[in-house]
Each structure stands twice: as structure tokens, then as C-alpha cells.
């Protein structure tokens, strides 16, 4: 059982971390675009803002399990299989990227409008404002967001176990639920709880180190 748990733990960990990184690679620029193209953004563009917003909302409104099933052709095409931990990364990224885009958007929007105005008065370009003002100023809030993102993705990855995903969730479901072996179920849940605690705490500590406002 120990080996099984260890394997599940590593699978969950890499699924979550790789998915989070990949989802940020997509979600971060999307969030930046959402903020930049907003009516009070640095380069307003209503068509882009609105259509991107709708696209993100559609993806976000599909429950993760249904999304996972829906995108199976994409998973098959990219990973060659639809089951196991590596295959779960694909739907995880697709589900998490729009979520992260919204987290990033809300973090960037917290930055004081006046600071942006000051940068504009100095002749900063929209790009410079995004990269040198909004992004660095929102860094603490972005870190808080990343802790939320990584814990949410861990949760998604666990529920992926029900449709062929790997990791702790799959073990809990296959052994704990289908075989009714509670002794498997409880440790998995405990480890998941612990992982969430650790991720969250790490995020908050990083914020305290990074944030210069206190």
C-alpha cells in the first residue's frame, strides 16, 4: 500500500504542477489581454475583450468531468491515450487556463489606476505599462492567485480519477469507492488535504517575501 500511495502522490504532484505551469503559459497572456483590451485598459478593444470573455466563460461553465470527456479526441491526439496521469494533463490545462485568465485579470485590475496614469504621463507604451507596471505591481496578488489555482487544479486532478485519470484521486476511487476499501480512501484524502495546506502556505509565504507594501 505504501508504494501505491507514494506512486499516487507523485502522479498527483506532477500532474498538478505541470498542468499549472502549462495553464499559466496560456492563462497569463489571456489575462493580460483581457485587462489591456478592457474599456479602461491600456489599449481598449471591445471586440477582442468581449469575444475572449465569452470564450473563457464557455470553457469555465463546463464542469470539469464533462470537459474531460468532451476533449478526449484532443487528449488522444496529443498524448496518444485518454487514460492515466499524463493524459489527464490535457483536460486539466484546458480547464485551468481560462480559470487562471480570470484570476490574473482580477489581480491586474487591483493595481491602482493612478499608477497606470502616472506611467502614461511619463510616456510609457501600453506594452511597458503591462510588463513594467501592472505585472510587477500585481505580483503579490498574482501569487495569491497561483496558490488558489494550484489547489483547484489538484482538486480537478483528483476527480479525474473517475474517468481514467491517475494519481491519488484514482486510487481513492478505484480502491476506496469501487472496492469499498476505506483504509485506502482515507489516507488518499488525508494526503490531498495535506497537499492543499502545503501549497496554500507556500503561496502565502512567497507573498510575504515578495510584497513590499508592508
Partner 1 sequence: MAETIISLRGIKKHFSTKKGTVEALKGIDLDIKKGEIFGIIGLSGAGKSTLVRCINLLERPEEGQVVVNGTDLMKLSNEGLRQNRRSIGMIFQQFHLLMQRTALENVCFPLEIAKVPQAEARKRAEELLALVGLSDRLESYPSQLSGGQKQRVAIARALATSPQVLLCDEATSALDPNTTKEVLNLLKDINRNLGITVVIITHEMRVIQEICNRVAVLDGGVIAEVDTVEKVFRAPKSKMGRQLVFHESDENREALQGPIENSYRITFEGDMTNSPILGNMMLECQAAANILAANTRMIEGKVYGQMIIQLPEDAAKREQMLQYLKNMGLTVEEVAYV
Span of 49-57, 83-91, 132-140, 197-205 interacting with partner 1 by CB under 8 A: 132-140
Taking the complex as a whole, the smallest distance from the CB of residue 58 to partner 1 amounts, in Å, to: 30
Candidate ranges 20-28, 81-89, 100-108, 131-139; the one touching partner 1 (CB under 8 A):
131-139
Establish if 39 lies at the interface with partner 1 (CB under 8 A). Answer: no
Nearer to partner 1, 132 or 179 (CB): 132
Nearest to 150 by CA among 45, 9, 18: 18
Using CB under 8 A as the binding rule, whether residue 117 contacts partner 1 is answered as yes
User: How many angstroms separate the CA atoms of 24 and 67, rounded?
Assistant: 19
Neighbours of 178 (CB within 10 A): 9
Minimum distance of partner 1 from residue 54's CB (angstroms): 25
CB of 132 to partner 1, least distance (A): 7
**Contact letters for partner 1, residues 76-115 (x by CB under 8 A):** ------------------------------------x-xx
Are 130 and 201 within 8 A, CB to CB? no
**For partner 1, the closer CB: 135 or 177:** 135
Cβ neighbors of 74 (< 8 A, separation 6 or more) are: 90, 94
Candidates 49, 41, 48, 44; CA nearest to 113 is: 41
Rounded distance between C-alpha atoms, residue 91 and residue 66, angstroms: 10
> Does residue 206 belong to the site contacting partner 1 (CB under 8 A)?
no
Amino acid at each position: 500500500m505504501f508504494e501505491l500511495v507514494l506512486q499516487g502522490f507523485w502522479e498527483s504532484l506532477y500532474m498538478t504542477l505541470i498542468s499549472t505551469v502549462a495553464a499559466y503559459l496560456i492563462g497569463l497572456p489571456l489575462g493580460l489581454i483581457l485587462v489591456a483590451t478592457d474599456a479602461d485598459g491600456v489599449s481598449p478593444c471591445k471586440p477582442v475583450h468581449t469575444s475572449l470573455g465569452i470564450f473563457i466563460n464557455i470553457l469555465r461553465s463546463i464542469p470539469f468531468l464533462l470537459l474531460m470527456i468532451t476533449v478526449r479526441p484532443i487528449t488522444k491526439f496529443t498524448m496518444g491515450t485518454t487514460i492515466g496521469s499524463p493524459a489527464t494533463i490535457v483536460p486539466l490545462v484546458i480547464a485551468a487556463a481560462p480559470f487562471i485568465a480570470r484570476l490574473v485579470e482580477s489581480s491586474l485590475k487591483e493595481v491602482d489606476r493612478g499608477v497606470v496614469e502616472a506611467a502614461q504621463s511619463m510616456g510609457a507604451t501600453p506594452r511597458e505599462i503591462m510588463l513594467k507596471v501592472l505585472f510587477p505591481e500585481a505580483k503579490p496578488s498574482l501569487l495569491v492567485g497561483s496558490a488558489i489555482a494550484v489547489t483547484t487544479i489538484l482538486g480537478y486532478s483528483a476527480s479525474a480519477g473517475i474517468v481514467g485519470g491517475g494519481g491519488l484521486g484514482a486510487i481513492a476511487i478505484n480502491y476506496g469507492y469501487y472496492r469499498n476499501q476505506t483504509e485506502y480512501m482515507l489516507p488518499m484524502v488525508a494526503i490531498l488535504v495535506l497537499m492543499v495546506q502545503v501549497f496554500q502556505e507556500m503561496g502565502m509565504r512567497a507573498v510575504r517575501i515578495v510584497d513590499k507594501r508592508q
